[in-house]
Amino acid sequence: NFTLDNEFHSSFIHRRLKSQERREMQREILSILGLPHRPRPHLHGKHNAAPMFMLDLYNAMSTDGDEDRYSYPYKPVFTTQGPPIASLQDNNFLNDADMVMSFVNLVEHDKEFLPVRRHHREFKFDLSRIPEGEAVTAAEFRIYKDFIHERYDNETFRISIYQVLEEHSDRESDLFLLDSRVIWAAEEGWLVFDVTATSNHWVLNPGRNLGLQLALDSTNGESISPRTAGLVGRSGPQNKQPFMVAFFKATEVHLRSIR
Amino acid sequence: SATGGGKQRNPNRSKGAKKNSSTDQKQACKKHELYVSFRDLGWQDWIIAPEGYAAYYCEGECAFPLNSYMNATNHAIVQTLVHFINPETVPKPCCAPTQLNAISVLYFDDSSNVILKKYRNMVVRACGCH
């Protein structure tokens, strides 16, 4: 129940509206929201991790009278899967943001390149629909790592995230390393990577958005399949799907255009 | 002194507002309940939260004497006095929001990306005479 005020929960449309009146009313409200038309989202992605993460952020916000700024104590929201999705750092990002947007992963390929035998996974996010006048203040790529029972007890992996600079049909893509860290093989939970600079680059240069690449290596340098390492992909649970989230701040005042 | 002929000014009452008083007595300028329902617009397939929000509205008289709780500007006080002295020259001040709050809306776009955005000046926090 996300109703802000249950006391007034009754129909506010007290008379039957004509079709034209209803369209005009909806157009007026959509113009306030800054939307050119009524969105028609796909139904299948509604229970993915991204909406749940965003709901965590929404629920963490204070809805008291003083809303000249995002101001709220962070209240972790525990999902049925356990640890909260949104973090304290996300709370700090939210304090400075006017808008937060999560992005659906458009593609996912587990690839293996021979003869080097390098496993990796690719991701793509469409940042071309960012409203004008919004600048990225922070962005994260999030992927869930499940607990794996066998083979890798007490071992560690090095997980690396790359920005794809250029693709080639006959060889590996040109990559730029964004982040790299060591994780326990037995680790479970959300892995969060800072992709702020990359996101800014993609917003300003949409044609250069060739996606991200993720790769894992064992301690002895052997390439590890993301699936084997427990990284959840498209075939995994909906509420653990990888996604990207970006925090924005308005750089200009939004004025309604003349109708 | 004020100049200009007086014009009949009819209050422009908004339709569809849920009022909490059915009397004809003129009430002082104050905040009234108004709930805007996204659900009633049939938008629950793309707006995740909220289902609606309490927007409130301002209505009431701004007549002499303006009490301190009416949040009147100095100009409104002066205008009230002029109207009281000569009603046909200037109208009474308007009862309007003096402070507004923002709301946050969580919604899907066409690509099923999720947006959380703050929209300013959506909720009346206080009414006053202007």
- Per-residue DSSP letters for chain A? ---S-GGG-S-S--SPPPHHHHHHHHHHHHHHHT-SS-----STTTTSHHHHHHHHHHHHS--SS--SS---------BTTBS-SS-HHHHHHHHT-SEEEEEE---EEEEEETTTTEEEEEE----TTPPTTEEEEEEEEEEEE----SS-TT-EEEEEEEEEEE--SSSPPEEEEEEEEEEETT--EEEEEE-HHHHHHHHH-GGG---EEEEEEETTS-EE-TTTTTB--TTS-GGG--EEEEEEEESS---PPP-
Nearest by CB to residue A65, choosing from B18, B34, B125, is B125
Sign of CA dihedral A22, A25, A30, A31: positive
Q: What is the pLDDT of residue A256?
A: 57
Is pLDDT of A65 > 60?
Answer: no
Mean pLDDT within A182-194:
91
* Inter-residue contact A189 to A249 (CB < 8 Å): no
Is pLDDT of A1 > 60?
Answer: no
Contact partners, residue A128, CB within 8 Å, separation at least 6: A206, A209
Q: What is the pLDDT of residue A56?
A: 83
Q: Tell if the CB–CB gap between A54 and B114 is shorter than 8 Å.
A: yes
Q: What is the pLDDT of residue B59?
A: 95
Q: Which of A31-35, A113-117, A250-254 has the lowest mean pLDDT?
A: A113-117
State the Cα–Cα distance between residues B116 and A192, nearest whole angstrom. Answer: 20
A3 or A18, higher pLDDT = A18
Cβ-Cβ contacts under 8 Å, B13 against chain A: none
State the Cα–Cα distance between residues A219 and B49, nearest whole angstrom. Answer: 45
User: How far B85 CA sits from the closest chain A CA (Å)?
Assistant: 38
* Inter-residue contact A82 to A52 (CB < 8 Å): no
| Averaged pLDDT of chain A | 77
* Closest residue, chain A, to B116 (C-alpha): A100
Q: How many residues does this entry show for chain B? A: 130
Residue A152: pLDDT band (50, 70, 90) is low
Phi, psi of A112 (to 5 degrees): -140, 125
Q: Which long-range CB contacts under 8 A does A87-91 form with residues at least 24 apart?
A: A87/A192, A89/A192, A90/A57, A90/A140, A90/A245, A91/A60
What separation in angstroms does the CA of A69 have from each of A62, A244, A256, B106?
10, 24, 22, 17
Using alpha carbons only, what angle is made at residue A38 by residues A242 and B13, rounded to the nearest 5 degrees? Answer: 135
Which tens digit of pLDDT belongs to each residue from A73-107?
222 232 333 344 567 677 777 777 889 999 988 88
The answer to whether the peptide bond before residue B65 is cis (omega within 30 degrees of 0) is yes
State the Cα–Cα distance between residues A61 and A73, nearest whole angstrom. Answer: 8
Mean pLDDT within A232-236:
84
A85 or A204, higher pLDDT = A204
User: How far B2 CA sits from the closest chain A CA (Å)?
Assistant: 35
- B-side interface with A, Cβ within 8 Å? 15-18, 33-37, 40-41, 43, 45-46, 48-54, 101-119, 122-123, 125
Q: Tell if the CB–CB gap between B41 and A26 is shorter than 8 Å.
A: yes
Of A74, A73, A81, A75, residue with least CA distance to A52? A81
Q: Tell if the CB–CB gap between A5 and B37 is shorter than 8 Å.
A: no
Helices (H) and strands (E) in chain B, counts: 1, 7
Structure token digits, residue A111 = 């690839």
What separation in angstroms does the CA of A100 have from each of A58, A94, A131, B86, B107?
10, 8, 12, 54, 11
Cβ-Cβ contacts under 8 Å, A241 against chain B: none
Q: What is the pLDDT of residue B126?
A: 94
Using alpha carbons only, what angle is made at residue A169 by residues A164 and A174, rounded to the nearest 5 degrees? Answer: 25
State the Cα–Cα distance between residues B38 and B34, nearest whole angstrom. Answer: 13
Q: Tell if the CB–CB gap between A3 and B50 is shorter than 8 Å.
A: yes
Which residues is A216 bridged to in the sheet?
A159, A224
Which tens digit of pLDDT belongs to each residue from A111-129?
655 556 678 899 999 998 8
The answer to whether the peptide bond before residue A51 is cis (omega within 30 degrees of 0) is no
Share of chain A above pLDDT 90, in %: 26
Residue A173: pLDDT band (50, 70, 90) is confident
Q: Tell if the CB–CB gap between A15 and B16 is shorter than 8 Å.
A: yes
Single-letter residue type at A38: R
Residue A154: pLDDT band (50, 70, 90) is confident
User: How far B14 CA sits from the closest chain A CA (Å)?
Assistant: 12
Mean pLDDT within B27-48:
88
Mean pLDDT within A6-30:
71
Nearest by CB to residue A58, choosing from B15, B45, B106, is B106
Which tens digit of pLDDT belongs to each residue from B12-25?
333 333 444 444 45
Is pLDDT of B96 > 90?
Answer: yes
Cβ-Cβ contacts under 8 Å, B31 against chain A: none
Is pLDDT of A134 > 90?
Answer: no
Mean pLDDT within A14-31:
82
* Closest residue, chain B, to A47 (C-alpha): B112
User: How far A57 CA sits from the closest chain B CA (Å)?
Assistant: 8
Residue A108: pLDDT band (50, 70, 90) is low
Q: What is the pLDDT of residue A113?
A: 55
Which of A60-64, A152-156, A214-218 is predicted most confidently? Answer: A214-218
* Closest residue, chain B, to A46 (C-alpha): B112
* Inter-residue contact B38 to B52 (CB < 8 Å): yes
Mean pLDDT within B115-122:
91
State the Cα–Cα distance between residues A191 and A95, nearest whole angstrom. Answer: 22
